[in-house]
Amino acid sequence: MSKMYYEQDCNLDALKGKTVAIIGYGSQGHAHALNLKESGVDVIVGLYEGSKSWAKAEKAGLKVDTAANATKAADVIMLLVNDEKQPAIFKESIEPNLTSGKYLAFAHGFNILYNQVAPAKDINVFMVAPKGPGHIVRRMYEEGKGTPCLVAIHQDPSNDTLDIALSYAAGVGGARAGILETTFQEETETDLFGEQAVLCGGVTELMKAGFETLVEAGYQPESAYFECVNEMKLIVDLIAEGGFSQMRYSISDTAEYGDYKIGSRIITDETRKEMKKVLKEIQEGTFAKEWLVENSVNRPYFLAKRRIESEHQVETVGKKLRKMMPWLKSEEE
């Protein structure tokens, strides 16, 4: 049976007297460090000499040191550097300073599930994985709201790792929305599937396909952008707030009829079959292997696609239109 935890189930005091090192100060790192600090936790950020994040973290009022020194100073070490960089940083800076009984934490299970990081048996290992982008985790916390989190325990030699993990999850704001207990395997496989097939890969390809269909048929790119990209958030906000039924309550009956009639012509049996294939590749470790190889040869596919995607018309038109909507805050520097 699924196990959910809320504020009344979490004891923030479990982290009292302990220091938490946040290694990395990017999307998740800045959100965890600042939310925990504002929840009363003693935080130190761990980076490397020359890191562009160093000055940012100091400017935000956080203690900063190298990853090795931060690990030495801390009882709980949360690894929030890029997944592909974690194994080397763990070996070089963290493992030599992880004394028995410390807690090592992750926000994604990739490196534990696929055996890229293997902590000694006397180290407590847990995961707190927010189900949202770091900048939103921070923004929600500042607004007095929270982002749901997953929590999982990999090793528990001290017999209190769940208490520490729940305290941590509450400190980042997760208990305001709900913390679901899971395993490293379930988190990794569902997270990879979600970002590839639905949230990132699925949504951007759907938007681009809609945008390109309209533009190729001779409609204005601005019209295609408003229809297929900008309005997505407005529709999805209604779904997030009140389910499909609230979205369908707010749209016209004409749109609702089109939704029922046409949706399954777009997401076809073929698409569902492909989703199953994608999930199998994740479960069998094929995707993980590919991503590790891509990194070992300096990411040629990843970097080329990043450039090509950033030059797509949907991006250039969107940039121009968003400038006229100053309330749309961009987190990119």
Ligand X SMILES: NC(=O)C1=CN([C@@H]2O[C@H](COP(=O)(O)OP(=O)(O)OC[C@H]3O[C@@H](n4cnc5c(N)ncnc54)[C@H](OP(=O)(O)O)[C@@H]3O)[C@@H](O)[C@H]2O)C=CC1
The answer to whether the Cα torsion of 89, 91, 96, 100 is positive or negative is positive
Q: How many residues bind Mg ion (CB under 5 A)?
A: 2
Candidate segments 192-200, 253-261, 301-309, 323-331, binder of ligand LWWEY6Y5 by CB under 6 A: 192-200
Residues 192 and 161: beta-carbon distance below 8 Å: no
Q: How many CB atoms lie within 10 A of CB 273?
A: 10
Q: Is 53 annotated among the ligand-binding residues? A: yes
| Strand 179-181 with 149-155, pairing | parallel
Residues 43 and 35: beta-carbon distance below 8 Å: no
Q: How many CB atoms lie within 10 A of CB 62?
A: 18
Q: Is 51 annotated among the ligand-binding residues? A: yes
The answer to whether the Cα torsion of 223, 227, 233, 235 is positive or negative is positive
| Strand 76-79 with 149-155, pairing | unpaired
Residues 125-154, interacting with ligand LWWEY6Y5 (CB under 6 A): 133
Identify what 199 binds: ligand X, Mg ion, ligand LWWEY6Y5, none; CB under 5 to 8 Å per kind: ligand LWWEY6Y5
From the CB of 110, what's the least distance to ligand LWWEY6Y5, in Å? Answer: 9
Instruction: Please tell me what DSSP assigns to residue 195.
Output: I
Candidate segments 24-32, 115-123, 243-251, 259-267, binder of ligand X by CB under 6 A: 24-32
> Judged by CB, which is closer to ligand LWWEY6Y5: 14, or 107?
107
- The stretches of 39-160 forming alpha helices (DSSP H) are 52-59, 67-73, 86-89, 110-113, 134-142
From the CB of 19, what's the least distance to ligand LWWEY6Y5, in Å? Answer: 26
Position of tokens 């916390």? 141
Determine, following the binding rule CB under 6 A, whether residue 52 of this chain makes contact with ligand X: yes
From the CB of 203, what's the least distance to ligand X, in Å? Answer: 15
DSSP 54-79: HHHHHHTT-EEEEHHHHHHH-SEEEE
Using CB atoms within 10 A of its CB, is residue 1 exposed (0-12), middle (13-18) or buried (19+)?
Answer: exposed
Determine, following the binding rule CB under 6 A, whether residue 187 of this chain makes contact with ligand LWWEY6Y5: no
Give one word for 79, left, alpha or beta, with left for phi > 0 and alpha for psi -120 to 50: beta
Q: Is 231 annotated among the ligand-binding residues? A: yes
From the CB of 135, what's the least distance to ligand LWWEY6Y5, in Å? Answer: 9
Determine, following the binding rule CB under 6 A, whether residue 237 of this chain makes contact with ligand LWWEY6Y5: no
Candidate segments 153-161, 174-182, 194-202, 249-257, binder of ligand LWWEY6Y5 by CB under 6 A: 194-202
Measure the CA–CA gap between 65 and 70, rounded to whole angstroms.
Answer: 6
Residues 180-209, interacting with Mg ion (CB under 5 A): 191, 195
Residues 106-135, interacting with ligand X (CB under 6 A): 107-108, 129-130, 133-134
Does residue 108 carry a catalytic annotation?
yes
> Judged by CB, which is closer to ligand LWWEY6Y5: 22, or 215?
22
From the CB of 98, what's the least distance to ligand X, in Å? Answer: 15
Identify what 289 binds: Mg ion, ligand LWWEY6Y5, ligand X, none; CB under 5 to 8 Å per kind: none
Exactly one of 195, 237, 290, 309 binds ligand LWWEY6Y5 (CB under 6 A); which one? 195
Determine, following the binding rule CB under 6 A, whether residue 191 of this chain makes contact with ligand LWWEY6Y5: yes
By annotation, the residues acting in catalysis are: 108
- Could you list the residues known to form a binding site, using ranges: 25-28, 51, 53, 134, 191, 195, 227, 231, 252
- Could you list the residues known to form a binding site for substrate, using ranges: 252
